[in-house]
């Protein structure tokens, strides 16, 4: 029922509740893999035919702004989105089926401190992403 929570979030931030938004939210929220705007469009239109692609872009923009989704960077492209994890999480992507798993992993402090010392940089953020095969794809 987390889709309802997302809609509530939108509402609480002054955005209106519409059929278009509901359709987009429903698709993106429950997806286990990152979806491109066009993919969201195609899938959501099965629920709400009148939906326009432009609205998908605009809705994704708002969801990202509210940190409900995040952009996923991959070698093949960076225009896909996945529902964001709670707090500070990293992604683990299946190179075969695209399924996304989240993990926490801030054992990076030691590393970042040593890098900071070596380079003179003040480190403020980090991106860590793992790629591999999920339990299913591993077998086949």
Residue 140 is a binding residue for a second copy (CB under 8 A)? no
Contacts to a second copy from residues 105-124, by CB under 8 A: 105, 107-108, 110-112, 115-116, 118-124
Euclidean distance between CA atoms 67 and 108, whole angstroms: 23
Tell me the C-alpha distance between 20 and 17, whole Å.
9
CA distances from 126 to 28, 34, 89, 99, 109 (A): 25, 20, 11, 22, 10
Residue 124, binding choice from DNA, a second copy, none, Cβ under 5 to 8 Å by partner class: a second copy
- Is residue 138 near a second copy by the rule CB under 8 A? yes
Write out the residues near DNA by the rule CB under 7 A. Answer: 11, 14-21, 36-38, 48, 50-55, 57-59, 61, 79
89: contact with a second copy by CB under 8 A: no
Considering only 56, 80, 94, 98, the residue that binds a second copy (CB under 8 A) is 94
Tell me, what DSSP letter sits at residue 16? -
Residue among 5 and 54 whose Cβ is closer to DNA: 54
> CB of 99 within 8 A of CB of 33?
yes
Cα–Cα distance, 10 to 25 (Å, whole number): 10
Interface contacts to a second copy, rule CB under 8 A: 73, 78, 92, 94-95, 101, 103, 105, 107-108, 110-112, 115-116, 118-135, 138
């Amino acid at each position: 029922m987390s889709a309802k929570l997302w809609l509530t979030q939108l509402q609480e931030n002054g955005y209106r509740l519409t059929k278009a938004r509901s359709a987009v939210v429903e698709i993106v929220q429950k997806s286990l893999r990152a979806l491109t705007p066009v993919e969201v469009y195609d899938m959501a239109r099965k629920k709400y035919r009148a939906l326009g692609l432009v609205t998908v872009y605009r809705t994704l923009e708002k969801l990202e702004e509210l940190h409900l989704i995040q952009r996923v960077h991959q070698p093949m492209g960076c225009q896909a989105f996945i529902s964001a994890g709670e707090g500070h999480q990293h992604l683990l992507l299946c190179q075969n089926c695209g399924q996304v798993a989240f993990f926490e992993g801030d054992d990076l402090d030691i590393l970042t401190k040593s890098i900071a010392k070596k380079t003179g940089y003040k480190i403020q953020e980090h991106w860590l992403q793992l790629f591999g095969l999920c339990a299913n794809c591993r077998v086949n």
